Amino acid sequence: MKKIKKILALVCVALLIGMYIVTFIMALVDSSATMAMFKGCITMTIFVPVVIFCYICLHRYAMTRSGRRDYYSENPSGDNRPSEEADGQ
């Protein structure tokens, strides 16, 4: 899951930076579509992270529903106590 989160975060950052660059270039060129691009960037700045967050939450819900409760815990038993092997006993 950590790998998926990292990939989604990088995709989100790349999309947002790309939109900002295109909007900046359109503003320098003084295109008539600049204001629409700016409004789109503001909308996507909110929308893209929310959609990715919802995807991560739904993925977590689906994994716990399917019985893979240990998918998100470091300890497969589900408790946060250290195992006896980790204590050196």
Supply the pTM of this predicted model: 0.54
pLDDT digits (tens, 9 = 90+) for 40-83: 888 888 888 888 888 888 888 888 887 765 555 555 555 545 55
| Section 29-33 average pLDDT | 78
C-alpha–C-alpha distance, residues 85 and 89, integer Å: 6
C-alpha–C-alpha distance, residues 43 and 32, integer Å: 19
C-alpha–C-alpha distance, residues 26 and 19, integer Å: 10
C-alpha–C-alpha distance, residues 31 and 75, integer Å: 56
The burial class, CB within 10 Å (0-12 / 13-18 / 19+), for 68 is exposed
